[in-house]
Amino acid sequence: MTASRCARIAALAALPLALACERDLTDLDPASFPPEAAVFIDDFGPGVQFGAYGGSKIDALDIEHDDVYGGTAALKFTVPAPNDPSGGYAGGAFYSLAPRDLSGFDALTFWARATTAITLDRVGIGDDNTGTSRFPATVDGLPLSTRWTKYAVPIPLPSMLARERGLFLVADGSEHAVGYDILFDDVQFERLGTIINPRPAIDSRTVGGEVGGSLTVQGTRVTFDVNGTDVTVGAAPGYFTFISSDANVAEVRPDGSIALVRSGTATITASLGSTPAAGAVTVNVETPPADPAPVPTAPASDVISLFSDAYNDVPVDTWSADWDLADVADLQIAGNPVKKYTNLAYAGIEFTSSLINAESMTHLHVDLWTTDADVFRVKLVDFGANGVFGGGDDSEHEVTLGPSSDPPLRPGQWNTLDIPLFAFGGLTGRAHLAQLIISGSSPTVYLDNIYFLRTETSVPTGPSMPPPTPDDAADQVISLFSDAYDDVPVDTWSAEWDVADLADLEIAGDAVKRYVNLAYAGIEFTSAPIDATAMTHFRMDIWTPDETAAAAFKVKLVDFGANGVYDGGGDDTEHEVTLTAAQGLATGEWVRLDMPLADFTGLAARRNLAQLIISGDPNTVYVDNVYFRRAATGPSHPTGENP
């Protein structure tokens, strides 16, 4: 299944079940309602209405008289092509103006076909078009062929539908480049008697929250045996009965939401009627922080602050962008302002109107308080020199923190996080920072003292993350060493005549070479010389902990000529290129060398390359992604880039 189809199903899936809110039935008089079965049999059943879903093709529904299963008429949905201006998909709810007693039925049945083989995104019952539907039940991903076939949507617990108005719902977006039609006939409720063996379940998970908050039980569903085939129905929480192991900590409301009452831990279980449901939700309830975060002590001259009482803050456009999924509030804890995020999936903090230059900074500082410390993610985004998103020079990187990370996270307390900027390995620039994006496992977090910091902390002795994965096409590369490509033979990465010590290491699962005591190192491929005449650049990534302000790193290429032997006929040529801090050589960061082969001016030929020699002032150098490449455009000047 493609990513776009997964995203579309997720979007459509949210439509009916998003309406599963509690409906107040206390003001309804006891009454019996008609057990009317018909939704559409040659015509709409008694009192049946249709409402199209928001964002759908509003004229998608029509009555078909020629292509029917039986009788004289069928329902026809015209599913629009992707990006059709009339709507992104077809869908809506069939509902009754008056309640019906559906408790005597065990399924909604219908005959259906499509004009091409498809997978119907969603079909089901229980959406009464009020926005307060309590009992949606749906089947997702239903295969339809071009032949009329009968289908059944099992009712999770029929006794709950004694006064139901939501009869039939459908939603589908095209999975092809063009649109198509879906036809339904004889849509009605039946008691089949062949729907057996209900297996209810809820998602097992551990969640955290604060006193006074609310959570929702997720993944409520029932699997039935329907004529010998398992059918899973997504059932709204209203069908289930929930039990809390400690209602004084976490109390379950009738709609399946969980009220967080006081500090402690409670386990939520469920049943469908008398049948226990698989799965359980462990709820950890915490009290909000009583004390503020520690007061920062870094000198103001070493800080670029986004949010802190201790410093003057730079402008921030928004603490919750209009494209994020989060709510933010400004609170005070013991007189200290903090940012509180709730319903947090991901939050975008933007300072696009005043980009931040953090090139001289070494760390990102954040004080974080959370009830769930399993995962907290921080992403930095740089818009590049053009200062706009999507301009071709953007870069970004996300760091994931948890209980075992460095720094580690602890729940129910302020976590002081000083994240080295070199850990953001994919952030190729820091002069035009525009966004800070947070996400994680906790729906509620408190943030304070968010700033970039310059410290005198010594540089790590080795990189904590590998360099970014190269994106050159494999057929445009001759690789000596890279996990991203198939490598050509290399005789040695440290020749017997060189002055260097070599070790093969792994960093976060990525293979790298480490040279120590480096004066010069000979890398030889004399048994299989490389023909790089079609290549335009030589590429490698290097990382050093050594001082580079006045240092030089040198790369030499040697061609043995047509006879293929060293100093054996006067046709050997070579050239050495020097990289300094002015060309991008840096300490404690991955530096990408992308050197035009045209700059190796003394290299008269490149058909029989046999040696690569590295040398210079850094005594410790990590090396990765060593290859020749063919550029898509013309050659450029030698570069050392900080990925």
In whole angstroms, give the CA distance from residue 173 to residue 5: 9
501 in the same domain as 381: no
Strands 195-201 and 118-125: unpaired
Q: Apex CA 76: angle with CA 71 and CA 77, to 5°?
A: 160
Write down the pLDDT at residue 374. 85
In whole angstroms, give the CA distance from residue 366 to residue 447: 7
264 in the same domain as 388: no
16 in the same domain as 141: yes
Report DSSP state, residue 294.
P
Are 376 and 441 a contacting pair, CB within 8 Å?
Answer: yes
Residue 461 domain-assigned (yes or no): no
309 in the same domain as 215: no
Give the global pTM: 0.54
428 in the same domain as 331: yes
CATH classification of the domain holding 233: 2.60.40.1080
> Looking at residues 621-638, what average pLDDT do you find?
77
The predicted-structure confidence for 184-196, as pLDDT tens digits, reads as follows 999 999 999 999 9
Tell me the two tokens of residue 376. 């907290």
547 in the same domain as 608: yes
Element (H, E) at 8: helix 3-17
Kindly report the three-state secondary structure assignment for every residue of 492-551: ECCCCCCEEEEEEEEECCEEEEEEEEEEEEEEECCCCCECCCCCCEEEEEEECCCCCCCC
Residue 385 domain-assigned (yes or no): yes
- CA-based diameter of the chain, in Å? 106
Which residue has 């090139």 as its token pair? 359
| Residue that finishes a domain, picked among 143, 158, 193 | 193
| Residue that finishes a domain, picked among 251, 286, 321 | 286
Full domain range(s) for residue 324:
300-453
185 in the same domain as 214: no
> Looking at residues 594-612, what average pLDDT do you find?
94
- Sign of torsion over alpha carbons 465, 471, 475, 476: negative
Kindly report the three-state secondary structure assignment for every residue of 357-400: CCCCCCEEEEEEEECCCCCEEEEEEECCCCCCCCCCCCEEEEEE
pLDDT of 131 above 90? no
Residue 153 domain-assigned (yes or no): yes
542 in the same domain as 495: yes
Write down the pLDDT at residue 26. 42
Residue 469 domain-assigned (yes or no): no
179 in the same domain as 213: no
CATH classification of the domain holding 50: 2.60.120.260
245 contact partners, CB below 8 Å, separation of at least 6 = 266, 267, 268, 269
Tell me the two tokens of residue 592. 């990408």
pLDDT band at 568 (very low <50, low <70, confident <90, very high): low
Strands 477-481 and 621-629: antiparallel
606 in the same domain as 524: yes
273 in the same domain as 309: no
Residue 291 domain-assigned (yes or no): no
Tell me the two tokens of residue 206. 């551990």
> Among 61, 9, 10, 15, which residue's Cα sits nearest to residue 40?
61
Residue 465 domain-assigned (yes or no): no
111 in the same domain as 22: yes
CATH classification of the domain holding 440: 2.60.120.430
| Residue that finishes a domain, picked among 453, 488, 513 | 453
DSSP notation for 216-284: E----EEEEEETTEEEEEEE-GGGSEEEES-TTTEEE-TTSEEEE-SSEEEEEEEEETTEEPB--EEEE
The predicted-structure confidence for 41-51, as pLDDT tens digits, reads as follows 999 999 999 99
Structural domain tally of the chain?
4
Phi then psi for 590, rounded to 5 degrees?
-70, 130
Mean pLDDT of the chain: 89
Query: What does R_g of the chain's alpha carbons equal in angstroms?
Result: 32
The predicted-structure confidence for 373-390, as pLDDT tens digits, reads as follows 889 999 999 999 888 888
